[in-house]
Chains A and B, each alone.
Chain A
Amino acid sequence: MESLLNIGIVRWFDNRLPLLSYTQHHMMDYPAPRNLNYAWNFGSLAGLALVIQIVTGIVLAMHYTPHTEMAFDSVERIMRDVNYGWLIRYIHSNGASFFFIVVYLHVFRGLYYGSYKAPREVLWWIGLVILLCMMGTAFMGYVLPWGQMSFWGATVITNLFSAIPLIGTPIVEWLWGGFSVDNPTLNRFYALHYLLPFVIVGLVVLHLWALHHKKSNNPLGIDYKGPQDFIPFHPYYTIKDAFGVGVFLIVFAAFLFYAPNYMGHPDNYIPADPLKTPAHIVPEWYFLPFYAILRAIPDKLGGVIAMGLSIGILFLLPWLDTSRVRSATFRPVFKWFYLLMLIDMGILGYVGSQPAEGDWIWIGQLATAYYFIHFLVLLPLIGWFERPRPLPDSIAKPVLAAGPVPGVGAAHDKA
């Protein structure tokens, strides 16, 4: 980069539009804490997943027809006739799942190391808005192939708005552009499915802006004291991220080539039938915990509110968690409750995949109650009563004590 800037014409251009210096500043010189562990790989992986979705999505759009009479057949044509169509569609449908996997891991990283705390509240908020946009995008994308799950998923989810008193039904008919999910709905979902990923790109820019403004959190969760706490992003973390990409692609390819339909639902290979609901409808796996919360409340409006709040309260997390210590490494009590919360979310996800009957009902209700108790009651209390372990003096000290190699072999335990 630096040498590029020595070339006259490049310098002339950069002087007028500092593209190169910006890249240099943010992707190479960016001072990153020297102790980041592999939990910090998921941000760049999420970025990669977004790029994969956009590229394969635009290619799919060249062959897809957004009409109720033709959508299903056009997707089947992509699978059978279009050159490499099967591959591109499988990358896109599995890519959505992998996007959620890495983003959820990214979020759990933040929850463990307290990355949502001051001064990174706005960074955390933007992340949550990105998550909400992803959910909208994935939901509308799943409608596009116009299979049975597409149609009934769209019907059930849009009907959530009918729970709003008085204006609920007009809102739902406005969303549908008719009196049921139909061609106008498919058309607008397609338009929005194309648009939202680019909105996400814009949000990612804001996310990184906020990140580079306050700098990355780190596994110790302590503030940086000086230049000795940092190493330049390039080459140390570019290579570490590249290694992560390699691992990610291996796992991704394993699903792509050996189990491309593992995370999908077979009913979506049946064309949509507005007169017949499949016996057991379930959302995609990444929505299951929220679906379980929706069903846990035996009241229509109450269920919708609880589901909305399950993400809504995360916006207040920086204040709900009263502990000043960021990293769970130094929080002996929080650590265990963090684990309990993970288990609780796992249970919610499993309950969401089961029919709402028998024991699943009370298990789902208990797990939902615990979810809210964790964030609204336990987190504030733990912060008050817990005695954190002593924090190290600086980021550099334990790292450098562990050996001469910068950025590796940090002496701390992982999640």
Chain B
Amino acid sequence: MAEHTIGAHEETRRDFLYVATGAVAAVGAACAVWPLIDQMNPSADVLAISSTEVDLGPVEVGQQITVKWRGKPLFVRHRTEADIEEARAVPLEDLKDPQTDAERVEKPEWLVMVGVCTHLGCVPLADQGDFNGWFCPCHGSHYDTSGRIRRGPAPENLTVPGYAFTDDTTIVVG
């Protein structure tokens, strides 16, 4: 093969074979790596238990219960009229993550949210902080009576999960 001489820069069929072989090997390696990466994602059994039913019957006005959902605390709060009024009165321009109270509830008296601070994941404490809602002790985030971030390092409001009322006193979350 004459084109094999050192320093010849002509493109040859051999160059093509090198590149093609390399490309196939790279794609093959990438395909083999994917299962090794994906095995770390939530597995089927973890995904399977990801919806939870909550009975609201026993929760009095002004009371909050915490249930475990997907390994995290879920806050279910039976809000008082005052809580709701206060949440509605806040002008949107005062909010870091603007959302009206109505967007965050199915029924105004029931506030359902993931009890995980949107900063770095601690569980905020109820009935504390400067906005009568929740306070996260880890790095000082204050949430209001609608669970919206008002002060501190957290970037977003407490997450409202997808949920639906199956009857007047039961919700299914997730």
Contact = CB atoms under 8 A, between A and B. Distances in A.
Interface of A: 152, 155-160, 162, 173-182, 184, 188, 274-277, 279-281, 295, 298-300, 303, 355-357
Majority DSSP secondary structure for residues of B touching A = loop
Contacts of B22: none
Interface stretch (B54-62, B77-85, B100-108, B132-140): B132-140
Q: Which of B66, B123, B138, B153 has the most CB of A within 10 A?
A: B138
Interface stretch (B4-12, B23-31, B67-75, B165-173): B67-75
Given A177-B41, A300-B153, A156 B121 contact: yes
Contacts of A175: 40
Contacts of B87: none
Interface string B135-154: 01111100000000000011
B63 interface: no
A9 B126 CA distance: 76
27 contacts: A156-B122, A156-B138, A158-B121, A162-B120, A162-B121, A173-B41, A174-B40, A175-B40, A177-B41, A177-B42, A178-B42, A179-B46, A179-B70, A179-B71, A274-B68, A275-B66, A275-B115, A277-B123, A279-B137, A281-B122, A281-B138, A295-B153, A300-B120, A300-B153, A300-B154, A303-B153, A356-B140
A178 B73 contact: no
A179 B140 contact: no
Contacts of B50: 179
A300 B73 CA distance: 22
A67 to B, nearest CB: 15
B21 interface: no
B71 A180 contact: yes
A144 B122 CA distance: 19
Contacts of A162: 120-121
A179 B73 CA distance: 11
Given A180-B72, A274-B72, A298-B153, A174 B120 contact: no
Contacts of B153: 295, 298-300, 303
Contacts of B41: 173-174, 177
A190 to B, nearest CB: 14
A352 to B, nearest CB: 12
Range, interface on chain B: 20 to 34
A362 to B, nearest CB: 14
Top-3 shortest CB links A-B: A180-B71, A179-B70, A159-B121
Contacts of B121: 155-156, 158-159, 162
A123 B63 CA distance: 60
A300 B120 CA distance: 8
A280 B123 contact: no
Contacts of B116: 180
Contacts of A155: 120-122
Nearest to B154: A300
B123 A275 contact: yes
A303 B154 CA distance: 12
Contact of A275 (B37, B68, B138): B68
A173 B42 contact: yes
A156 B120 contact: yes
A54 to B, nearest CB: 25
A157 B120 CA distance: 7
A300 B155 CA distance: 7
Given A178-B46, A184-B43, A299-B153, A275 B73 contact: yes
Nearest to A68: B71
Contact of A184 (B46, B70, B123, B138): B46
A159 B122 CA distance: 10
A132 to B, nearest CB: 20
Given A159-B120, A275-B68, A295 B46 contact: no
A159 B118 CA distance: 9
Contacts of B46: 177-179, 182, 184
